[in-house]
Amino acid sequence: MNYLVLKTIHIISVVAWFAGLFYVGRLFIYFKEAAAYEPKKKEILQDQFLLMTKRCMYIITWPSLIISTFFGLYMLHKNPSLIYLNWMIVKLVFVTVLIVYTAYCQKILLQMMKGSIKFSDFKLRLWNEFATLLLISIVSLAILKTALSWVKAVVVFLLIGIILFTLIKLYKKYINSKTD
């Protein structure tokens, strides 16, 4: 198979994988927030969010992870010299973290299936934004390769993390002020 075709399939499946993760993360938050409603409304909403989360994980997220991983490894097989490049090694570390992140999302889904999520809604928001940091890191490594120094990359990663954390804190403060 042509290398560019492999790359195209890989990129499309990575986009679908992240779309699934971003949506699942929001569904976790909605499920958690629904716990504050009166019992009948809570039950209806949580049942619906659970159904949506299951479909997203099993129809979009996991299949996309599998396809991304397969075609990514196939591209490495077709071009094995890539594995010796520093940026690729770091990218593969981030991809491994992303796979672990996805597996932990599955664990949260299993908690949902038992009726509650152990994370607070604030921690779920942070959890959801961690996928954003992984996306930025992986795409930056794939595009910029060696054009960006590692020191600058770490500084940018930390700055984006701090900005996201601050925005989540401000949002929480805003929501709390509306409920008071």
Per residue in 44-98, pLDDT (tens digit) is: 999 999 999 999 999 999 999 999 999 999 999 999 999 998 889 888 999 999 9
Distance separating alpha carbons of residues 79 and 75, to the nearest angstrom: 6
**How sure is the predictor about 148, in pLDDT bands with cuts at 50, 70 and 90?**
low
- Measured over the CA atoms of residue 115, residue 119, residue 120 and residue 121, the dihedral's sign is negative
The better pLDDT of the pair 160, 32 is held by: 32
User: Is residue 130 classed as helix, strand or coil in its secondary structure?
Assistant: helix
Q: Phi first, then psi: what are they for 160, rounded to 5°?
A: -65, -40
Read off the DSSP letter of residue 120. Answer: -
User: What local confidence, expressed as pLDDT, does residue 105 receive?
Assistant: 98
162-176 pLDDT per residue, tens: 888 888 888 878 877
Rounded CA-CA distance 136/122 in Å is 22
What are the sequence ranges of the domains in the chain?
Answer: 3-179
Lowest average pLDDT, out of 18-27, 53-62, 69-78, 127-136, goes to: 127-136
Mean pLDDT of the chain: 91
Q: Count the neighbouring beta carbons within 10 Å of the beta carbon of residue 138.
A: 20
- Percent of the chain residues topping a pLDDT of 90: 68
Rounded Cα distance between 64 and 18, Å, is 9
Q: Residues with Cβ < 8 Å from 14, sequence gap 6 or more?
A: 64, 68, 138
pLDDT score, position 22: 97
The pLDDT score that the predictor gives to residue 150 is: 60
Residues 30, 98: contact at Cβ < 8 Å? no
| pLDDT at res. 37 | 95
Please give the pLDDT value at position 179.
67
CB burial class (10 A; 0-12, 13-18, 19+) of residue 153?
middle
**Tokens for 155?**
């500084």
Instruction: Label residue 118 by pLDDT band (50, 70, 90).
Output: very high
Q: Which amino acid is at 164?
A: L
SS3 87: helix
Give the global pTM: 0.86
Judged against a pLDDT cut of 90, whether residue 27 lies above it is answered with yes
